[in-house]
Structure 1
Amino acid sequence: MAVVATIKYVFIPWVCAAPILCDALLPFAWLYLYTEIVLRQSTLSIPAHLLCMPVALSAIRIIVLEANPVNPFSRCVVVGDGAVGKTCLLISYTTNKFPSEYVPTVFDNYAVTVMIGDEPYTLGLFDTAGQEDYDRLRPLSYPQTDVFLVCFSVTSPASFENVREKWFPEVRHHCPGVPCLIVGTQVDLRDDPSVREKLSKQKMQPVRREDGERMAKDLGAVKYVECSALTQYKLKDVFDEAIVAALEPPAPKKKSHKCLVL
């Protein structure tokens, strides 16, 4: 498990081999056209091939996590189809209120500190864009992930099927052995009459809890959890379970339960 004291942002223009440390650029850092690499010790170990990225990737963001043995840190990455509520999930959890205005495609990375017993524990939360346009870039945010939240909306059977067809295969391909939770979002809309009517016209219905639990068992997920970012129903439980999964990952295999840059 990684530990962290500070987070710095390193920008490497694609034509330049010299890292530029610039905290002033932080507010503009979360545009998705970058490669994010997590380094545990220093910027000296930047993979050489990353210094020759195409011009479309205007900058490479590198997060340097400096060791702090006092405060354990785990990285939680949230994936799933676009418009299933991933960003609202993170905003509602970290600000304790549902966003009433514009929600960005990608939530600014955030760290929350919670108490495990009498010890502080930091969970780094990393949003991703679910649209197909980002399929080649998104896996570049996976290195050093400790736990994944694979999200779908209970009002979208298509997003539920994509957990099996797209998201688990993608995560398992890039990060074999890293624990995953399946998260059903927007449960406040499961019994909404207009939602049910819209789905019934397509001969569908909202995803049931037992469907999520069955899929979690079939795919080997740590467990299935569901919540509402709007009402905050079971919202805290989702991230509590993520912390538990990161602290106690499944260990039947002897391979490392970390996602690494290859």
Structure 2
Amino acid sequence: MGKFPEDDRYIPTVFDAWVADMEVNNQPVELALWDTAGQEEFDRLRFLCYPDASVVVICFSVDTPDSLDNVEDKWYAESSVQAAGAPVILVALKLDLRHDQRTINELARYSQHPVTMAEGQRMAERIGAVAYIECSSIQNLNVRQVFEFAARAAVVPKGKRRMGDSASSNCCVIL
């Protein structure tokens, strides 16, 4: 419990959902979090989630540069059609591996490097994300902030998609 899987018995998520309560601008907000699979065979299931999305959180892994390419080519392309108008937050996962020597060495074997903050920020600008956040669940760094930013982005009226504006709703669906 409280550990990450380190063996072949790990089974990736197909679909998972959680509900969390937060407060935004002194108002209670219920977050409905939907974690969907990225594999092509689950496209139909994932597409069912988009219509109710108040905000889309697109994630990539710092230790997998190809996942940054997928942000624009797959995830943003898909979500901008399926959840048109929903604000997007770009999140870099596994921040703890950016300076991990084993990760650096492994990527170097393929003439790659961990995704830098500047590369992530450029992608966030390209897709028009309302926020870019880097986090590490292992180090418990900025994990809560991801959900706080998502809740704030989701409750801002459509014409005012800036962080810090007043809330207009008390429900947030994060995809």
State if a TM-score over 0.5 links the two structures. yes
Query: For residue 173 of structure 1, what is the amino acid of its counterpart?
Result: V
Name which of structure 1's ranges 195-204 and 99-108 shifts more when overlaid on structure 2.
99-108
Matched pairs, number: 157
- Structure 1: where are the runs of 5+ without partners? 1-96, 253-262
Q: 2 CA distance for matches of 1:110 and 1:190?
A: 28
Q: CA deviation at 1:118?
A: 3.6
Whole-angstrom distance in 2 between the partners of 1:176 and 1:120: 25
Matched, 1:163 2:71: yes
What pairs with 1:82-231 in structure 2 (closer than 5 Å)?
Answer: 98-101=2-5, 102=10, 104-106=12-14, 108-231=16-139
Q: 1:221 to 1:151 in 2, by over 3 A?
A: same
- Aligned-residue CA RMSD in angstroms? 2.0
User: What amino acid is the match of 1:166?
Assistant: K
Q: Matched residues, percent identical?
A: 39
- Cα deviation digits, residues 40-62 of structure 1 (max 9, x gap): xxxxxxxxxxxxxxxxxxxxxxx
Quickly say closer, same or farther: Cα 1:137–1:214, change in 2 above 3 A: same
Give the C-alpha shift of residue 108 in structure 1: 3.3
Q: 1:153 to 1:124 in 2, by over 3 A?
A: same
Q: Once the 2 structures are TM-superposed, how far is the Cα of residue 199 of structure 1 from its aligned partner?
A: 0.6
Stretches of structure 2 that go unaligned for 5 or more consecutive residues are: 161-175
Structure scoring higher RCO (CA < 8 A, sep ≥ 6) equals: 2
Give the aligned residue type for 2:45. L
Structure index of larger Rg: 1
> 1:232 and 2:151 equivalent?
no
Q: Is the 8 A contact 2:14 2:42 kept in 1?
A: no
Which consecutive segments of 4 or more residues in structure 1 shift more than 3 A? 97-104
Bigger drift between 105-114 and 199-208 goes to 105-114
TM-score, normalised by the number of residues in structure 1? 0.56
